[in-house]
A and B are shown apart, each in its own frame.
Chain A
């Protein structure tokens, strides 16, 4: 029992409206956990609590044994947490390499002085990290898009670049918010392949929020199902899929179902 990320009883509310209610789960090293649930169940809110955009009013979050509850996003990122966004959040005027390099911002040291003078260390650092980004670009097969502002690239490619930027951060835990939302079947397959190859090559633990159940079933080792801000089921995919409460939450109670 040495979970890399432990979410312990977090609750969140907005103006009296309870969005999350004592949500708990643990992420094992190198594993992939999927959070599922109907719209408005609070999935993205869980992510926002973990990476510090929101602050839960109770409960705690530990990253690799270290408490991160309520810390600022930038500082949580530095401690080894990366995420992607449901709506793309790329730096649109920069190209793939620069976007990935920005993922490595916290791994680098060059400040304004060293950068301005382009002294030995700044130069070395730049070369080392660029090389690393190019390895990743090769792994994710994004080489064709180098040199163009990412804002001009197709949506599916942008989604993969955002994934790449998160991976480039070399996080202990990677949060993926609907990685294949809005993608067609082909693009979804490419993305699934990307996720798999990153896990094989780099072995980082991931949490994924996703509606595409086929993808979830294929990739996740563990599933947490949320409904109205509460965890209603936790377990391996087969168990959760068979859970009557989960089925009810997804399909509605028999009388609601059309």
Chain B
């Protein structure tokens, strides 16, 4: 039972990270209606940036994270402005493929700038463990959950109470109507990309600083595991991203902890997110919380 609880908490923490990455996917999908594969690149580049500041230049960890968040928000906005803005009237598959190209580009930048196969990047709380009713839970996991909670809370407040947030919701519902109300759709796109860049950094830092994993360029693809979380929760539902993320995270950690059948193969847990995704999609095509796509003719 203790083992289960321990794994469960660890799974929730991983799920929180997936939810953060998924939030980046969701916010852009909601605003622009497309998958942004470059999200994996934001996660990757943002984490390396934080590493550079915190470890190489020995800046305070939290300050490093903040600087990287701002920088990646800027990078994301720049990409939106220079590439995606020009492609707004292109077919959906073209836009998706462009974001794939950007992901590949960002991913190759990393080995050029950080010329080492794996780097050590640990967060300040690593190694500390707290004992709650016989279950030992690492500080890192607690912090991760708290972090994710704070980010999601801030995100919800932003959408409910700020002018920009409300405008973005309107633009997501009906671009033309929103434009008629004086809401700038272009601005809403920009802000959504900035948010995606920012949460990408937070997620990446949590992901690699969990301990165990070295910081490698592969985390750009690890971020893709948040796609199942996003789809599971419903493409356009930030709340769904949380639930989807937690389901995927818990499923992944529990399989890693319990399922040790040889025929499942080594590292089976890494494909679990995708298997959960396929299974759920067969029965609920719009995810758990997504709006059903209704096409008007």
* Residues of chain A at the chain B interface (Cβ within 8 Å): 48, 53, 85, 87, 89
A164 to chain B, nearest CB (A): 19
Please report which residues of chain B, range 263-297, place their CB below 8 angstroms from some CB of chain A when the two chains form the complex: 297
Compute how far the CA of A85 lies from the CA of B297 in the bound complex, rounded to whole angstroms: 7
Closest to B91 in A: A93
Which residues of chain A have C-beta atoms less than 8 A from B297's C-beta? 48, 53, 85, 87, 89
5 sampled A-B residue pairs with Cβ under 8 A: A48-B297, A53-B297, A85-B297, A87-B297, A89-B297
Which residues of chain B have C-beta atoms less than 8 A from A53's C-beta? 297
Which residues of chain B have C-beta atoms less than 8 A from A48's C-beta? 297
Compute how far the CA of A89 lies from the CA of B296 in the bound complex, rounded to whole angstroms: 11
Which residues of chain B have C-beta atoms less than 8 A from A87's C-beta? 297
Compute how far the CA of A87 lies from the CA of B297 in the bound complex, rounded to whole angstroms: 7
Which residues of chain B have C-beta atoms less than 8 A from A89's C-beta? 297
B92 to chain A, nearest CB (A): 14
A73 to chain B, nearest CB (A): 10
Compute how far the CA of A85 lies from the CA of B296 in the bound complex, rounded to whole angstroms: 10
Compute how far the CA of A87 lies from the CA of B176 in the bound complex, rounded to whole angstroms: 16
Which residues of chain B have C-beta atoms less than 8 A from A85's C-beta? 297
Please report which residues of chain B, range 176-228, place their CB below 8 angstroms from some CB of chain A when the two chains form the complex: none
Closest to B294 in A: A14
Compute how far the CA of A89 lies from the CA of B295 in the bound complex, rounded to whole angstroms: 12
Compute how far the CA of A89 lies from the CA of B297 in the bound complex, rounded to whole angstroms: 8
A22 to chain B, nearest CB (A): 24
Closest to A47 in B: B297
Compute how far the CA of A48 lies from the CA of B297 in the bound complex, rounded to whole angstroms: 9
Would you list the 4 A-B pairs with minimal beta carbon distance, nearest first?
A: A85-B297, A53-B297, A89-B297, A48-B297
Compute how far the CA of A202 lies from the CA of B5 in the bound complex, rounded to whole angstroms: 75
B211 to chain A, nearest CB (A): 50
B296 to chain A, nearest CB (A): 8
B142 to chain A, nearest CB (A): 43
Closest to A86 in B: B297
Compute how far the CA of A110 lies from the CA of B51 in the bound complex, rounded to whole angstroms: 60
Compute how far the CA of A48 lies from the CA of B295 in the bound complex, rounded to whole angstroms: 12
B291 to chain A, nearest CB (A): 13
Compute how far the CA of A104 lies from the CA of B297 in the bound complex, rounded to whole angstroms: 21
Please report which residues of chain B, range 132-180, place their CB below 8 angstroms from some CB of chain A when the two chains form the complex: none
A59 to chain B, nearest CB (A): 21
Closest to B296 in A: A87
Closest to B295 in A: A53
Please report which residues of chain B, range 51-77, place their CB below 8 angstroms from some CB of chain A when the two chains form the complex: none
Compute how far the CA of A48 lies from the CA of B294 in the bound complex, rounded to whole angstroms: 14
Compute how far the CA of A6 lies from the CA of B297 in the bound complex, rounded to whole angstroms: 23
A178 to chain B, nearest CB (A): 13
B18 to chain A, nearest CB (A): 33
Closest to A53 in B: B297
Closest to A93 in B: B91
B208 to chain A, nearest CB (A): 44
Compute how far the CA of A48 lies from the CA of B296 in the bound complex, rounded to whole angstroms: 10
B177 to chain A, nearest CB (A): 16
Closest to A73 in B: B297
Closest to A85 in B: B297
B130 to chain A, nearest CB (A): 49
Compute how far the CA of A171 lies from the CA of B297 in the bound complex, rounded to whole angstroms: 20
B11 to chain A, nearest CB (A): 37
Compute how far the CA of A133 lies from the CA of B147 in the bound complex, rounded to whole angstroms: 64
Compute how far the CA of A87 lies from the CA of B295 in the bound complex, rounded to whole angstroms: 13
B276 to chain A, nearest CB (A): 31
Closest to A44 in B: B297
Closest to A48 in B: B297
Compute how far the CA of A87 lies from the CA of B296 in the bound complex, rounded to whole angstroms: 10
